[in-house]
Amino acid sequence: MSNLVSGFSKFTKEQKIEWLSEIFLKGNKDANQILRLYWNSDEKLQQLHDDFIENTISNYYMPYGIAPNFVINGKHYVVPMAIEESSVVAAASLVGKFWSDKGGFRASVLSTVKVGQVHFMYGGSKTDLESYFLSKKTDLLKSTETITENMRKRGGGILEIELRDKTDELKDYYQLHVTFETKDSMGANFINSCLEAMAQNFEKEDIQIVMSILSNYIPECLVQAEVSCEVEKLHPTNGLLFAKKMKQAVDIANVDPHRAVTHNKGVMNGIDAVVIATGNDFRAVEAGVHAYAARSGKYKSLTACDIENGVFTFSIQIPLALGTVGGLTSTHPLSKLSLEMLQNPSAKELMQIIAVAGLAQNFAALRALTTTGIQEGHMKMHLVNILNQLEASQEEKQNITKQLSGKTVSYSGVADALKTLRA
Range with the largest mean pLDDT of 76-85, 234-243, 367-376, 389-398: 76-85
Catalytic residues: 85, 265, 281, 378
Cβ count within 10 A of residue 363 = 25
Q: Distance between CA 7 and CA 11 in Å, rounded?
A: 7
Residue 303: phi and psi, rounded to 5, are -105, 160
Task: Give the model confidence (pLDDT) of 108-125 as tens digits.
Answer: 999 999 999 999 999 999
| Residue 381 burial (10 A CB sphere; 0-12, 13-18, 19+) | middle
Task: Give the model's pLDDT for residue 359.
Answer: 98
Task: Give the model confidence (pLDDT) of 256-286 as tens digits.
Answer: 999 999 999 999 999 999 999 999 999 999 9
Work out the percent of the chain whose per-residue pLDDT is above 70: 97
Task: Give the model's pLDDT for residue 384.
Answer: 78
- Provide the 3-class DSSP secondary structure of residue 113: coil
Q: Distance between CA 98 and CA 371 in Å, rounded?
A: 16
The radius of gyration of the chain from alpha carbons, rounded to an integer in Å, stands at: 26
Task: Give the model's pLDDT for residue 268.
Answer: 98
Task: Give the model confidence (pLDDT) of 278-306 as tens digits.
Answer: 999 999 999 999 999 999 999 999 999 99
Cβ count within 10 A of residue 386 = 20
What Cα–Cα distance (Å) separates residue 366 from each residue in 107, 272, 361? 20, 18, 9
Predicted confidence band of residue 29 (pLDDT cuts 50, 70, 90):
confident
Among the residues of 111-209, which ranges form H helices?
126-142, 145-153, 188-202
pTM of the model: 0.88
